[in-house]
Amino acid sequence: MNLVEFSELVVKKLVKEPDLVKVQEFESDDETVIEIVVAESDMGRVIGKKGKIATSIKTLIQAKAYNDGNKKVKVNIDSF
């Protein structure tokens, strides 16, 4: 399972509208950027109180990336 599939799996389990979740991966020279886009109504579920859920999501993705051999991963969470 690659990083995009893993990110989708984690986020889709949290939201009410999993069909609207979009995850994209962008690679640059020294880092990988994972962009997660969810519905506006699901932003509260993804961010959580004081950003605890968003921090947990980022930690899980970074741990998966580290185990896969990618050292630098940045995670952006946004809504549409």
* CATH number of domain containing 36: 3.30.300.20
Q: Which of the four pLDDT bands, split at 50, 70 and 90, describes residue 26?
A: very high
Q: Which amino acid is it at 56?
A: S
Examine the pLDDT at 11 and tell me if it is beyond 90: yes
pLDDT of residue 56: 97
Q: pLDDT by residue (tens digit) across 35-46?
A: 999 999 999 999
Q: pLDDT by residue (tens digit) across 55-70?
A: 999 999 999 999 999 8
pLDDT of residue 70: 85
Count structural domains, the chain. Answer: 1
Would the CA dihedral through 60, 13, 50, 22 be positive or negative?
positive
For residue 62, the number of C-alpha atoms closer than 13 Å in the C-beta half-sphere is 13
Range of the domain at 28: 3-79
